Amino acid sequence: MSMLRLENVVKDYPLRSGVFGGTSGVLRAVDGVSLDIAAGSTFGLVGESGCGKSTLSRMVLGLERRTAGRIDAAGRDPQELKGASLKAWRRDVQIIAQDPAGALPARMRVRRLLEEPWRIHRIEPPHGRPIQVAQLLSQVGLTERHGRAFPHQLSGGQRQRVVIARALALEPRLVVCDEPVSALDVSVQAQVLDLLRRLQSEYGLTYLFISHDLRVVRSMAAEIGVMFSGLLVERGPADAVYRRPAHPYTRELLNAMPSIDGGRRLRSVAFGPPAATLDGDARRTGCPYRLRCPLAIDRCVAERPPLRQVAPTRFSACHRAEEVLSATRTSQSIGDHK
């Protein structure tokens, strides 16, 4: 069963320019993204800052209307809902976002913060709020002492645990995790990711897990999608994509990662000469990555590559995906030789 399905989802923002603020064209923040997440599983969405990840998540959460396409989240189209049915649906679909410092109201104690979702939804938890708060705290590895604290008295990792507990209070089915550990130190990141994994298996949660960090996404998701400039440019099993990318942008992401596992680098062979000149206007028609792509050819200027199947479980939006797949492989990476 599918818990989240996106079909050709598009989001345009009007571009304003000039002193009178007239609109001139649009910024296509999300450009025809399709994906499908089975109930109980995690789909990882990765891509650099500004590629459209949060815009996508706001549409999934019903916080923003889309320009085109279809969304089915936990059985409903958020943008068709209002009133009581919207409120009911919001219990099923929650967000865990970045930067707890800004996300939590500063003047409420943690235990009150954790009661808030019930108050807002006018629900009395089965065993009463104090007991339920204590349970939530222990589920995320906090204690009564943390419950009495104010957010600023907690560490970044503890605050993020509070954010997670709040998202879980209403027993959601689908959770959008938008850069949930990006504001945390690496050692704390690992603990919070462990917690998210444990909660998922305990409650059968479905995650749309968003991060700019491919390593984080790989550790969380069985399947990943790589986004560039509003487009899904690659999709496939996380391990396969990580070991043998099928899109040059994915390869760039991998090569940019700090190498903690032994100077890991992707070997590549020489390709033909890159496209000579690329003017700004042609950006709309060709491949949006070609301006940075070491493999760009004339065809990449003339024709936008669609996301297509390039191997049994692999999809790539690159005209030269087959060459990328066969020409790159990871070297010296742990696990390659087992």
Query: Can you give the binding site for ligand ADP, defined by CB under 6 A?
Result: 13, 27, 29, 47, 49-55
Q: Which does 51 bind (CB under 5 to 8 A by kind): Mg ion, ligand ADP, none?
A: ligand ADP
SS (H, E, C) the chain: CEEEEEEEEEEEEEEEECCCCEEEEEEEEEEEEEEEEECCCEEEEECCCCCCHHHHHHHHCCCCCCCEEEEEECCECHHHCCHHHHHHHHHHEEEEECCHHHHCCCCCCHHHHHHHHHHHHCCCCCCCHHHHHHHHHHHCCCCHHHHHCCHHHCCHHHHHHHHHHHHHCCCCCEEEEECCCCCCCHHHHHHHHHHHHHHHHHHCCEEEEEECCHHHHHHHCCEEEEEECCEEEEEEEHHHHHHCCCCHHHHHHHHHCCCCCCCCEEECCCCCCCCCCCCHHHHHCCCCCCCCCCCCCHHHHHCCCCCEEEECCEEECCCCHHHHHHHCEEECCCCCCC
Closer Cβ to ligand ADP, 115 or 178, answer by number? 178
Least separation in angstroms between CB 106 and Mg ion = 23
Q: Could you tell which of ligand ADP, Mg ion, none binds residue 29, using a CB distance below 5 to 8 A set by kind?
A: ligand ADP
Picked from ligand ADP, Mg ion, none, the partner binding residue 105 (CB below 5 to 8 A depending on kind) is: none
164-183: contacts with Mg ion (CB under 5 A) = none
From the list ligand ADP, Mg ion, none, partner contacted by residue 238 (C-beta under 5 to 8 A by kind): none
206 binds, among Mg ion, ligand ADP, none (CB under 5 to 8 A by kind): none
Part of the chain binding Mg ion (CB under 5 A), chosen from 47-55, 67-75, 228-236, 275-283:
47-55
Among 3, 37, 54, 307, binds Mg ion (CB under 5 A): 54
Q: Point out the residue whose Cβ comes nearest to Mg ion.
A: 54
Q: Which of 211/333 has CB closer to Mg ion? A: 211
Q: Cβ closer to Mg ion: 3 or 29?
A: 29
Compare residues 54 and 328 and give the one whose CB is closer to Mg ion. Answer: 54
- Binding site partner of 130, from ligand ADP, Mg ion, none, Cβ cut-off 5-8 A by kind: none
Nearest approach in angstroms of CB 53 to ligand ADP is 3
Distance, CA of 197 to CA of 143 (rounded, Å)? 20
CB of 107 to ligand ADP, least distance (A): 28
Non-local (6+) Cβ contacts of 148 within 8 A are 109, 110, 111
Pick from Mg ion, ligand ADP, none: which does 201 bind, CB < 5 to 8 A by kind?
Answer: none
The residue among 140 and 183 lying less far from Mg ion, judged by its C-beta, is 183
Residue closer to ligand ADP, measured from CB, 53 or 314: 53
Phi-psi region of 70 (alpha: psi -120 to 50; beta: other; left: phi over 0): beta
| Angle, alpha carbons 170-136-129 (nearest 5°) | 70
Q: Minimal distance in Å, beta carbon 30 to ligand ADP? A: 7
42 binds Mg ion (CB under 5 A): no
* Smaller CB separation from ligand ADP, 97 or 241: 97
| Interacting residue ranges for Mg ion, rule: CB under 5 A | 53-54
